[in-house]
Amino acid sequence: MSEITHILKMNVNKDVRFLSVNYDRSCFACGTETGFTVYNVEPLANMVRHDVPDCGGIGQVHMLNRTNLFALVGSGRHMKYAKNKVIIWDANLKKAVFEYTFCTPVLNVRMRKDMVLIVLQTKIYAYSFPNDPKQLFCYDTRENPRGLCEISAAIDSQMCVFPGPKSGSIQLVDLDVSKIGFSSKPCIINAHQHDIACITMNQLGTYVATASKKGTLIRVFEVKSRRQLMEFRRGTDAASLYCLSFSADSAYLCASSDKGTVHIFAVKEPEKNKRSTLSKVGLFGQYLESQWGLANFSVQAECPCLCVFGPGSSSVIAICYDGSFHKYVFTKDGNCNRESYDLFVDVGNEVDFI
């Protein structure tokens, strides 16, 4: 799922610098002035807080599943944890075990148990990880200010997706390589007419969902065939999308934007979605009908947030930069009701981590 990295942060909590969710959506991490805190998603609980000495603030924190390894990027105000460095932090040892340094700011980090991808403005580097880190390969990209890059969480799939060479395009790459310096040739999909603003991949690595800077349409593609499966309409007015996320079973997709509305779409049962009256010829020539969301709910407008599905794919959780935590339960017929609301920044330690 896409994380919020380079956006205008409005209506934010001063203790929240960065939010990210691990791949199985079971917990999330919050970068702070002095380190980072890890929370359990369901039920909401403060799992552990890590103070990072002399960090100068954590600008990014990324979790490797539910392990003791984290990738940290500083806020740039302290040379030890600068914006152009990725620090691999061992929570058990409570110290940095190694680091990667670049000439330009690091915009995003993606980790698998055997590989770490580091995203810069126009390049993506892949390194072996965590033992004996060596550069595996490097991909050139178009200008990628949001650091968009997603990888599959599935054991038997090593698919990666990031912006393509042309405006509105994406690249699909199989990261399953046997020799250092070699990788598969990217496959290009022309997904939108405007620059890509949001990308996500389902946990199996079989579907990719995209949205452009216009923010009105969300398209879902099948990875194997590169075929567009469906098109969802978020709205008719332009919007900045913060997040796209599939449910664990890929049955649903949710999206959040600066309009303050989280939309839920049915992927496996698209007939459950509301239909648009504006049918049109699609991007690739076929006749398409945009589908409006199955359900939606509201959070604070212009407040960046991550949205994820809870266990069982019958609830959606919004984790917001103002420190709020929203859980809504929805049904197949489109009913959506709030089940809980909390301020995660005020939640005390309740469970053990790892």
Q: Provide the CB-side half-sphere exposure for 193 (13 A, CA).
A: 6
Q: What is the mean pLDDT of residues 271-287?
A: 60
pLDDT of residue 56: 82
Burial of 128 (0-12, 13-18, 19+ CB in 10 A): middle
CATH number for the domain whose boundaries are 18-346 = 2.130.10.10
Window from 78-82, 302-306, 319-323, 347-351 with minimum mean pLDDT = 347-351
Q: What is the mean pLDDT of residues 22-43?
A: 92
pLDDT of residue 228: 95
Q: Is the confidence at residue 280, as pLDDT, over 90? A: no
pLDDT of residue 7: 45
Cα separation, 128 vs 59, whole angstroms: 23
Q: What is the dihedral of CA 109, 112, 114, 120, to 10 degrees?
A: -20
Cα separation, 232 vs 280, whole angstroms: 13
pLDDT of residue 286: 44
pLDDT tens string 182-238 = 556 678 999 999 999 999 999 899 999 999 999 999 999 999 999 999 999 998 899
Q: Is the confidence at residue 285, as pLDDT, over 60? A: no
Query: Predicted confidence band at 328 (pLDDT cuts at 50, 70, 90)?
Result: very high
Task: List C-alpha distances in Å: 20 to 23, 30, 31, 158, 193.
Answer: 10, 7, 9, 21, 28
Upstream peptide bond of 130 is cis (omega within 30 degrees of 0)? yes
Window from 75-89, 111-125, 247-261 with minimum mean pLDDT = 75-89
SS3 assignment, position 195 = coil
Residue 165 DSSP symbol? S
pLDDT of residue 30: 96
Cα separation, 196 vs 162, whole angstroms: 9
pLDDT of residue 184: 61
Upstream peptide bond of 311 is cis (omega within 30 degrees of 0)? no
Cα separation, 68 vs 55, whole angstroms: 18
Query: Predicted confidence band at 351 (pLDDT cuts at 50, 70, 90)?
Result: very low
What amino acid is encoded at 290 in this protein?
S
Q: Provide the CB-side half-sphere exposure for 267 (13 A, CA).
A: 25
Q: Is the confidence at residue 287, as pLDDT, over 50? A: no
SS3 assignment, position 272 = helix
pLDDT of residue 348: 74
Contact criterion met (CB below 8 Å) for 306 and 28: yes
SS3 assignment, position 95 = strand
Q: Would you say the C-alpha torsion 336, 337, 343, 345 has a positive or negative sign?
A: negative
Q: Is the confidence at residue 137, as pLDDT, over 50? A: yes
Query: Hunting for tokens 């340094």 — which residue is that?
Result: 101
Q: Is the confidence at residue 318, as pLDDT, over 60? A: yes
Short-list 88, 81, 157, 158, CA closest to 118: 88
Q: What is the mean pLDDT of residues 118-132?
A: 90
